[in-house]
Amino acid sequence: MKVEYISSTSFSVEGDKTDTFVRLRKVRLDCGVDGLQYGTVLSSEFDDPDTTVVIEETVITPNLKSMKYSIVKPGDDGNEPPDWDHGPELPSTANIGDFFFKTNDGHIYVYNE
């Protein structure tokens, strides 16, 4: 998915992706020499031909080159139960097959590598 830097808290993607970038969905942003950054979607808005995504954290740099989003989709029509029992303490990162798991603030972020 093509991604374009807008500001330290926003980026754009081609097409109407508002169903993908829902509030509270986690994203991993590859900012090249500035490293991988992690964020939480605050909002997204489609303005033809692109969707602008705003994240809660101020982590995006002008070196943004790619982005991946979590396979876990929060919300009423998502796949994360609202009262999910987060279970035992996990290591801060783990790779299992093609998936990369990262914990942060007690939440689990799952990315398909």
Token pair in block for residue 61: 């740099």
The answer, yes or no, to whether residue 104 has pLDDT greater than 90, is no
Give tens-digit pLDDT for 51-67: 999 999 889 999 999 99
pLDDT digits (tens, 9 = 90+) for 16-34: 999 999 998 999 999 999 9
Please give, one letter per residue, the 3-state secondary structure of the chain.
CCEEEEECCEEEEECCCCCCCCCCCEEEEECHHHCEEEEEEEEEEEECCEEEEEECCCCCCCCCCEEEECCCCCCCCCCCCCCCCCCCCCCCEEEECCEEEEEECCEEEEEEC
Statement: the pTM of the whole predicted model exceeds 0.75 = no
Domains of the chain: 1-69 (2.40.10)
Average pLDDT on 86-91 reads 50
